[in-house]
Structure 1
Amino acid sequence: MSAALDEVQQRLRRFASDVKETSPLYSYLAAHAAEDDEVGRLLTVAADPDPELLLAAVQRVLQAEPFHELTNYYPTLGGSYGPDGGLWPMFRTFALERADRIRSLVVTRVPRSNEVGRAALFYPAVAFAARQAGGGPVGLLEVGSGAALLLGIDLYSYRYQSEQAGQVAAGPGRAALGLHCALKLAPGQKGPTIPKRLQVAARVGLDHDPVDLDDEDEYAWLEACVRPDQPDRLRQLGAAATVRSKKAPILVKGDPVTDLAGAADRIPAELPIVVLTSDALRPYSAERVTAFRTALAELAAARATFWVSLEAYSVGLVPDHPELDTGQAVLACTRWIDGEELTTALAQTSWHGERMHWLN
């Protein structure tokens, strides 16, 4: 079903406001697209008219024309210009002249974040779960894995910077990818236990449509989904893809609810399972979230299972903490004791992994 133009324009305006601080380029383009009916109609053919889908489609088409003047505004494509009076007319002309190609992408693609920077948030949380499981090696099962870059969490290096403790390093010393995270602590708080190493003995990704990084077109779409004024994220994507190619996980095509147990069976029975979700549940209905939690509980009844989640507060995992309803992500760890679901809120974080406020 096609979306109505007014719905598309409302979503573009909301997106422009939401990313004003983090992506000035996309904020500028989305705000202008919201007031331009012809450009807005390019997104009405989408099943889910996500503004990032339109902007990624334009960037994907632009990748194939590296000498076009519009690339001057895209740092991920080598540009250095900031938004100015010439940007919107050029963007508009480019998009409308290539409308058929852009509509084709809008109809057939979905946005792919695959934000590997979130590994810096997951590292201390998975360590927390591993300690709860007895401190030995674990098997990781990422639900909604996409390209499954978070499954290389033990292969990246990390630097955590806090006012109280200074810098804490973790992970392999010569890792291909290094991530940095600012760590906020309350006065006198010790903060998370961040081990030098995580022991990961199995990696499985479950997704409706797993990403094949060996497919050049699939990889180019991943690159197009990186906001162009965030070139560091593009470099991180490239480094993580290189790491994944050397230690590939098992990728399972399937449903997060009905195929969860089958995916878990790919992890040796002696290993505790740590299930990861990264902003995977926000699009779900309340009934769908409940079904997923039920599937996890059934898995936990059969073998040691922990769930490390990075989700919006609205998903409802920690409803007793309204102070966390700030628009930031909530990092939590869930386990099951005698069938009862117990969730610990660990931190409030940025969505891309730059900052983490560890909770008492």
Structure 2
Amino acid sequence: MMASLELAKARLTNFAVNEAAGISPLYELLATHAKDDDEVAALLAAAPENFAHGTLFFAAAQRLVQAEPWIELANYYLTMGGSFGPDERVWPLFRQFVLGRADKMRELISTRTTQTNEVRRVATMFPAIAQAAKQAKGPIGLLEVGTSAGLLLGVDRYGYRYSTEAGEQINAGPTKTPLVLTCAVSGQPLPKLPKKLAVAAKVGLDRRPIDLRDEEELAWLEACVWADQPERSRRLRVAAEMQEKDRPTLVTGDAVDGLADAAAQVPAELPLVVLTSHVLPYLADERRQEFVAALASLAATRPLWWVSQEHYLAAMTYLVPGRTDFEDSFREIRGVLALVRWESGKPDARLLGRTGAHGQTLTWL
């Protein structure tokens, strides 16, 4: 079912208030205007209900700006070399631009999905993946569900620098690497983190996986990066270049129905670590429960861990119900980091931390 105008406006409102606010001044300003503009908001109504989100709307707009980098609006897109901050002129320019290309906007919004392959998110997942690897006592196989281009599967090749509230720095991962991911940590002390993670297989599952060798696909991935966050764009490019020497196996399929076939691509002798990061909110509640059940079925056939970085109400509520103290993460677009292992058919789920939407913060519990 396609999104209604009312739903589109509600999603833009949520994006302005709970996602962009305090993080992206440009998108906060544009979304604040767009949510009250029926003509502009109606463009987002071209998307199916599950995918009608502000991130998709602004990705479509940025993809069209990429195609016309000489226009005045491009000056506000720092990811494209612009240098202007949001001011009173940007909304009229943006409105004129998207409405003047309404057919192209609707085509992108109706045929594309948000592919936010934010590499930095793996910085908040690394401590949990390292715990799973330690418990596995040997090389592991990774399967990322909702993988997009599979950049999070490069977890073993990135470096990590965690800054504590006391001003200390904790370094992990390989020391010689083109990409070091930074993260501010708080809460309880992090467990000891390894310099090396032994990963013997990497598989990604997605409804529409992205091949980074395709320039058009890479351009869409870049369009999904928020336009006033050039550092995210830089990380994406570096990670994409690193993947050229370490390509994962990408499988086209549904998160539930395609899970077993994708897992079969990881050699059976390897302990399987399944990763999800801000994927499950795109599934209906029934499908989320089916996903958890599918993981349990897989765990009956081989050693399996699930590293989940999802909103509590989209994931851990099914395994650790009643934790109302984590329910705010859904509204605030924060993740709950969890590690789940099945023992004799029963899940052992541990909530490890709260994470920032783009991997910028980790509160260890």
Name the residue aligned to 1:162: 164
Runs of at least 5 residues in structure 2 that lack an aligned partner in the other structure? none
1:65 to 60, 63, 68: 68
| Shift, 1:221, TM fit | 0.6
Q: Secondary structure at the match of 1:240?
A: helix
CA contact (8 A) 1:162 1:185 kept: no
Distance across 2 between alignment mates of 1:96 and 1:282: 29
Alpha carbons 1:111, 1:225 under 8 Å: kept: yes
User: Cα–Cα, structure 1 residues 164 and 137, in superposed 2: closer, same or farther, change >3 Å?
Assistant: farther
- CA contact 1:164–1:185 (8 Å) conserved in 2: no
CA distance 1:42–1:332, shift in 2 (3 Å): same
1:24-39, aligned counterparts within 5 Å? 24-39=25-40
Q: How does 1:93-172 map to 2 (within 5 A)?
A: 93-134=96-137, 136-164=138-166, 166-172=168-174
Q: In 2, Cα distance between the equivalents of 1:117 and 1:226?
A: 12
State the 1:162 CA deviation.
1.4
Aligned mates of 2:2, 2:303 — CA distance in 1: 44
Partners of 2:213 and 2:14 lie apart in 1 by: 35
SS at 1:282's partner residue?
helix
Superposed counterparts of 1:183-262, under 5 Å:
183-186=185-188, 190-262=189-261
Q: CA deviation at 1:320?
A: 4.3
User: Gaps (5+ residues) in structure 1?
Assistant: none
User: Counterparts in 2 of 1:39-54, with a 5 A limit?
Assistant: 39-48=40-49, 49-54=52-57
Q: Which residue pairs with 1:8 in the alignment?
A: 8
State the shift of 1:119 in Å: 1.1
Give the letter aligned to residue 212 of structure 1: D
| TM-score (norm: length of structure 2) | 0.94
Q: Number of matched residues? A: 355
Conservation of the 8 A alpha-carbon contact between 1:192 and 1:358: no
Does the 8 Å contact 1:116/1:236 carry over to 2?
yes
Residue-by-residue CA offset, 1:192-220 (whole Å, 9 max, x unaligned): 22111111110001111111111111110
Q: By how many angstroms is 1:165 displaced?
A: 8.0
Deviation at 1:65, TM superposition (A): 1.0
Give the corresponding residue for 1:355. 361
C-alpha separation in 2, matches of 1:220 and 1:8: 25
TM-score, normalised with respect to structure 1? 0.95
Distance 1:302 1:77, change over 3 A: same
Aligned counterparts of 2:92 and 2:219: Cα–Cα separation in 1: 26
Greater Cα offset, 328-337 or 316-325: 316-325
> What RMSD, in angstroms, separates the aligned Cα atoms of the two structures?
1.4
| Offset, 1:139 | 0.5
Comparing 5-14 with 141-150, greater Cα deviation is found at 5-14
The list of structure 1 runs, each at least 4 consecutive aligned residues, that deviate by more than 4 angstroms after superposition, is none
SS in 1 for 2:126: helix
Encode CA deviations 1:307-331: one digit per residue, 9 max, x unaligned. Answer: 1000101121432433223322100
Provide the rounded CA distance (Å) in 2 between the counterparts of 1:3 and 1:208: 20
Flag the 1:153–1:107 CA change in 2: closer, same or farther, 3 A. Answer: same
Q: How many Å separate the matches in 2 of 1:43 and 1:294?
A: 33
